[in-house]
Amino acid sequence: MTAMDSLAVLGAGPGAAILRRSRRADVSAIVALLAADQLGVTRDGVRDESDLAAYEEAFRAIDADPAHLLLVAESGGEVIGTMQLSFLPGLARRGALRAQIEAVRVASGARGSGLGAAMMTWAIEEARRRGCALVQLTSDKSRTDAHRFYERLGFVASHEGMKLAL
């Protein structure tokens, strides 16, 4: 890691983390965070080489496109948080650019430290810097703690988030 990799320092003192773009070597750690989640446990994890190949292919697609930022928070050499930001053009709302946040995860040992809020605050500021008119995300209806967390940050649960598995 070089200082130039860092997008932001989140928090202070020994618990401080740096926020940076993910690298290919982070894929396993990010997948571990996804798989540690109550809903992700059945959806994510590396069972065999084909799973790892699928994650690495997705990583390449994200990393190659400047419209996407896959980020990690790192502290003491460990990945303790992740989120993906995507910047999406659209005609609605007078041609508004939207920032979309997906797959926000904080390691269990780092929860309650303010890391998640610091990551989200950075994401909202980055959306503003890029001229977005809106930040959007969806959150499973069972994650009631997460909804309160997002509402404290200013999000409004104004929409139904509808999914169709193929």
Residues near a second copy, by CB under 8 A: 27, 30-31, 34, 40, 43-44, 51, 54-59, 61-62, 65, 67-68, 70, 84, 86, 88-97, 100, 102-103, 124, 127-128, 132-141, 147, 150-151, 153-166
The residue behind tokens 């940076």 is: 20
Query: How deeply is 81 buried, as exposed, middle or buried, from its count of CB atoms within 10 A (0-12, 13-18, 19+)?
Result: buried
Query: How deeply is 115 buried, as exposed, middle or buried, from its count of CB atoms within 10 A (0-12, 13-18, 19+)?
Result: buried
Q: 98: part of which helix (H) or strand (E)?
A: strand 98-106
Q: How far is the CB of 72 from a second copy (least distance, A)?
A: 11
Of the pair 22, 75, the CB lying nearest a second copy is at 22
Of the pair 16, 21, the CB lying nearest a second copy is at 21
Of the pair 2, 158, the CB lying nearest a second copy is at 158
